[in-house]
Each structure stands twice: as structure tokens, then as C-alpha cells.
Chains A and B, each alone.
Chain A
Amino acid sequence: MKAFNNQNKAWLMTMLVLMVVTFVFSMKLGAITITWEEIQSTLSKWMSGQEMNLQERIFFQIRLPRALAGVFVGASLAVAGVLMQALFRNPIVEPGLIGTSSGAAFGASLYFVLGAVMEFNAGEWTLPLAACLGGTLSTVLVFLLAQNRSSGKSSVVALLLTGIAINALFLSGVGLLSYLARDPQARSIIFWNLGTLSGANWISISIIGAITLICLLVALRYAKPLNALMMGEDEAVFLGVNLKKLQIIIIALNVLLVAVATAFVGVISFVGLVVPHLLRLMKGSDNRFLLLGSALLGAIMLSLSDLASRLLLAPAELPIGIVTSLVGVPVFIALLRKKQYFF
């Protein structure tokens, strides 16, 4: 009997290997090139607790966290893209397009400007928390406002237009805050809207890494109901899906993934759109494969984009959000022009 069991192991293994390769390049290349010997000596000194020299400290404190940030942030944005596309039943939805990123940016800006005077303080977690709240608010707003009241389905046009409106709202909030802010705060806000991995450190990496892995594992448990949702909400319920619970969990995962990544590295758009789309072209739309594949391919793509942002203007840097937009916009427009997706 033929096995109707879609594991796509070969594809996933290939992407895993590619991810490791890009990760190695991402560790080695940059304003300063790191050699194998330096990597080895850094790791052995780290394990034995010895003092590192300058080159080794650059690798350990700056380059390695940054390379890891590329992997985790890429994975989390791409996974969030898959989840949103499945939830909205539309393959052109992307975290940046439906307000999550701008909401998170607004939450973070609020923290930058008002953080010092706020009563509330959760230490390292204050910024991600503020970004999460902003991201949740904007996503839920778009989700509710774009829904057709009779069919409960969101048309692309309604989604995109609502997304534009909510984006404009929150970005003008960000604008207002940066207008009010003093210079160092305003600079943090600007750096934020362009996105960069250069600020990665071990604390941010452990938070992003933990959130990414947990969310991916939880999301995989919902691959089946998300597949059923492709046929519409009624059909999903006929297949035993608890719709309300599914929607709440998926929105929560999305917001967590996007807002936490955005909180530490700023707004990086189009990764969540381009990565799942490439996988759909190659292997179809089974969400289990898309989630695993997107985590890997997202990590590859963002590591490559970060390499480009480090190397193109070396020793200066190009913000990574600009690199991903340059790649993402043409793909997005090509997608919009394609008839196969419903408009």
C-alpha cells in the first residue's frame, strides 16, 4: 500500500543542513572575519572560564549572539507568517501587513519614552511585554474589524485596508512619541522601525530562543485544525475543531512570536510572507510541513539578509528591515498579481 503520510523528511533535512551552513558563515563574516581557530579557542576558554582576548570577545559577545538572533528571529517571523495565513485563510497575510509589527513598535516606543517614569517595571521583560501588548491590541483590532459579519470570513481587501488603517494609526502614534521624545529615545525609536540584529546579546537571545521554540512546538499541535480551517470555518467545525479556542491560541502565538522578536530587533517585514510562500510553491500547503519548513527557511533567509546588511556597506551597516523589504516587496506584488489566490 502506498503511504499517504507527508513527512517530507528529505526537504527538511536539506534545509537543516543549509541552515547550519548559513549559520557558520554568519558567525565568521562581518566587519571582522573570525577564523576557525578563534572560534575553537573562544569556546574552550568559555568552557574553562579563562580570560578572552579582544578578537575572541568580539566573537563571543557580539558575533555569536547576532548569528543566533538571525536564526531565531527568522524562524519566529516565518512561523508567525504561516500561522496568520492559516488563521485568516489567506496566503498573502503577513505580520507587518496586518498591524502586529506596528502595534508592537508602538508599545515599545511607549516604553522607550515613558519607561523611566512608569510605575510598572518588569526588568528585562518590560520591553517585550510592552511590545506584546501593543501587538495584541493591533492584531485583535484588525481581526475583528476586517471580519465580514454574515460569513465570518475576512476578504483580502477588507484585511489589507483594515491593516493599512491600523498600521497608520499605530505608526502615527510612534511618530508622535518620537516627536515628543528626547534625542537618545528618538534614536531608539528610529532604529526600531528599520530593524537591526546588531543589538543582540545573550539575554535577548535566550528570551527570543525560548519563545520561538515553545511557540513552534505548540503551533505544531495545531497543524491539523489549521489545515481543516483552509476549507472554511464551518467545515473545520464539522471536522471536530473547537473554533474559538483555536483562534485565541493562534492569535496568542502570533503576537508572542512577532512582538518578542520585534521588541529586540525592531520591525522586520516580509519574512513572514516570502518564506511560507516559497515553501507553498515547492511542496503545497500542509501546515505541519509549512511550520517546520518555515522555521528552517526563515532562519536561513534572515541570516542571509543579516549577512547582506553587514557586508554590503562594510564597515557601516544597512538596517536589515531595508534588506528584507527590498526582497519582499517584489514577491508580494507578484503574489498580488497572481489569479490563483482569491481576490
Chain B
Amino acid sequence: MLEAKNITVRIGQKTLLDNVSVSFEPGKLNLIIGPNGAGKSTLIKVISQQLRKHEGEVFYNSENVHSLSERKMAQMRAVLSQNIDLAFPLKVWEVVMMGRYPHFVETPRQIDQQAVEEAMEFFNIIEMAERNYLTLSGGEKQRVHFARVLTQIWYPKEGHNRFLLLDEPLTFLDVKYQFQFMHKLQELLENKDLVVIGVVHDLNLAARFGDMICLLDKGQLLASGPKLEVLSEDNIRSVFQLEPILYRNRVKDTVHLFFE
């Protein structure tokens, strides 16, 4: 369980988030959506503590983030960002192994190596293990980072949830990789202790794969809950100022979305 309570973020005169309170459940794909400037990115950065200047409080497993060290946070929370600028020559497995850094002291243990191997197999990058990261394509690089981020929280911890935060991870991927990525996420969510929170731009992707949707507009939380409730004509019209056409499939629990 992850909770953000009364989060307000101001930069100068501008209020980026205005008293937002929201909680996220394990075993569900929680997606944050909204138009540009709604505060999606700010909210995920407050949750990940990349942004520390804010009012209100964030709780991981009902522990206040301010009482947790960087290392302790890193052992239970992993963050996948959209554009990682890594310009040094490294082998693919060396990049993935970085995910295990919060867990070992100087050299990787057997269990760290096992996590790296399993994660690379899960993302079908095991054949590239020895390749130079700099020679990979954009889609391949993003898969390497996805594997790296997951090795960080590869093993469940008794009595605790694990947290995976996604800050627009799909921005530079084409449709095929976007779908692959979302399917992998769904597979991972069979682990019922995993809390996944993501910011996505593409409404249809959110409608297709999300379980819980958190809809932001102008720094305020407009609605949050199961996607069939949040993705209503009224909500979408008022936030995006476009006339939507929704096709709901209540049997498969999906929504498809078009605009006039």
C-alpha cells in the first residue's frame, strides 16, 4: 500500500499540485493520466521522492518516507524513467546488475547474479548480456533498463510490499514495444505484493491495460478509482475538452476510446 496525503507542490507563484491525496493498492496497475501540465509527472516525482520539496506526506507500507534512508528506499522501490542518458561503454549485464546495488556491499552474491539472469530471461535480453550497451537500439535500451529496475525489487520481502514507479516509460517506444511492455507488466502483477504506479500519456493504453485510474487536471485530483468509473464521458470531456466516444466491454473489463 502506498499513500500520498495532502500533497501540495509550489514552484514560485505556480501551484503544480494542489492538496492531492491518493492511495495505491498492490496487485493492480495504477495509472495516472491527465492533459499536459496536469501535474502527473510532479505527482510521480513526489511519490518517488525525486522531488523532496513538497507539503504533505508520502507513506510506503505506512512508513513515512522521511524516516527512510536512500538505501532502504532503494531496497523496496524501483523507478523506471523515460530517458536515461548513459554514455559510458558498459556490458548489458553490468547495467542490469546496477539494480542489485542496494542489496550487496562490494561484489555481487550468488543471489544477485541469479536475479540478474532471471530478469534478463524475463525480458528476452539474455542473448545480449555481453554486448556493449551503447550499441543497442532505443527499444533494446529501454528493455535493459526495465530489467535493471526489476532486479532491484526481484525478490518479495516478508510482510512488505514492493513498489514499481513508472515515469512515462513508453514515450520513446513504438506500438509493438508498448504492448510488449504492458503485457510484461500484467504478468508481473500476478505477484500480489507488487504496487505498480505509472504515468502514461496515451489514453487508450491506459484504458486498455490500467486497473485503477487517477485523473489529474490543473494540479487537482479530479477522480480516482476503477477505470470503468473514472473513464466516463463527463470526466474526459471536462478534462480534455474533446467529445469522446467510449466502447465499454464489461465482460473483458476494457474500455476503448475515440474522439470526434
- Stretch touching chain B among A15-23, A52-60, A140-148, A220-228: A220-228
Q: Is the CB of A239 within 8 A of B94?
A: no
A5 located at the interface, meaning its Cβ lies under 8 Å from any Cβ of chain B in the complex: yes
Measured CB to CB, the nearest residue on chain A to B88 is A285
Q: Which residues of A contact B152 (CB under 8 A)?
A: 239
Nearest to A227 among chain B residues (CB) is B98
Contacting B at CB under 8 A, from A265-308, are: 280, 284-286, 288
Within 8 Å by CB of A240, from B74, B85, B86, lies: B74
On chain B, the number of residues with a Cβ less than 8 Å from chain A's Cβ atoms is 40
- Among B73, B85, B90, which residue has its beta carbon within 8 angstroms of that of A232? B85
Nearest to A235 among chain B residues (CB) is: B84
A219 to B71, CA, bound (A): 19
CB distance from A44 to the nearest CB of B (A): 41
Q: Is the CB of A2 within 8 A of B90?
A: no
Interface residues of A in 110-128 (CB under 8 A from B): none
Residues of B within 8 A of A341 (CB): 87
Q: Considering the complex, which residues of chain B in the window 66-106 have a beta carbon less than 8 Å from any beta carbon of chain A?
A: 69-75, 77-79, 81, 84-91, 93-94, 97-99, 101-102, 106
Which residue of chain B is the closest to A243 with respect to CB atoms?
Answer: B70
Set of chain B residues within 8 Å of A232, measured between Cβ atoms? 84-86
Q: Quick check: A230 and B86 within 8 Å, CB to CB?
A: yes
A4, B106: Cβ atoms closer than 8 Å: no
The reply on B50 being an interface residue by CB < 8 A is: yes
A34 to chain B, nearest CB (A): 40
Residues of chain B contacted by A340 (CB below 8 angstroms): 87, 89, 134
Considering the chains assembled together, what is the distance between the CA atoms of A341 and B88 in angstroms?
Answer: 8
Given A234-B50, A239-B74: A1 touches B101 (CB 8 Å cut-off): no
Total interface residues in chain A, CB < 8 Å: 35
Bound-state Cα–Cα, A6 to B130, Å = 11
- Of B89, B107, B113, which is in contact with the most chain A CB atoms at under 10 Å from its CB? B89
Q: How near does chain A come to B8, taking the closest CB pair, in angstroms?
A: 22
Answer whether residue B33 sits at the interface, using C-beta atoms and an 8 A cutoff.
Answer: no
Q: Interface readout for A204-229 with B: 1 if CB under 8 Å, 0 if not?
A: 00000000000000001101110110
B117 at interface (Cβ–Cβ under 8 A)? yes
Q: Kindly state whether residue B44 has any CB partner on chain A within 8 Å.
A: no
* Residue pair B75, A240 in contact (C-beta under 8 Å): yes
Residues of chain B contacted by A4 (CB below 8 angstroms): 93, 97, 108, 113, 116-117, 129
Taking a contact as CB atoms closer than 8 A, the residue among B72, B79, B91, B113 that contacts A238 in the complex is B79
User: Is the C-beta of A329 less than 8 angstroms from some C-beta in chain B?
Assistant: no
A91 within 8 Å of B (CB atoms): yes
B86 and A231: CB pair below 8 A?
yes
B48: Cβ under 8 A from any A Cβ: yes
Residues of A within 8 A of B117 (CB): 1-2, 4
Contact A228–B101 (Cβ < 8 Å): yes
Q: Residues of A contacting B69 with CB < 8 Å?
A: 240, 242
- Bits for B104-125, please: 1 = Cβ < 8 Å to A, else 0: 0011100001101100000000
* Top 8 A-B pairs, shortest CB-CB distance: A240-B74, A240-B102, A285-B88, A240-B71, A238-B79, A342-B87, A4-B93, A4-B113
Tell me the B residues contacting A by CB distance below 8 Å.
48-50, 69-75, 77-79, 81, 84-91, 93-94, 97-99, 101-102, 106-108, 113-114, 116-117, 129, 132, 134, 152
13 of the cross-chain contacts (CB-CB < 8 Å) are A2-B117, A4-B113, A91-B87, A223-B106, A227-B101, A230-B86, A237-B70, A238-B50, A240-B72, A240-B73, A242-B69, A284-B89, A284-B132
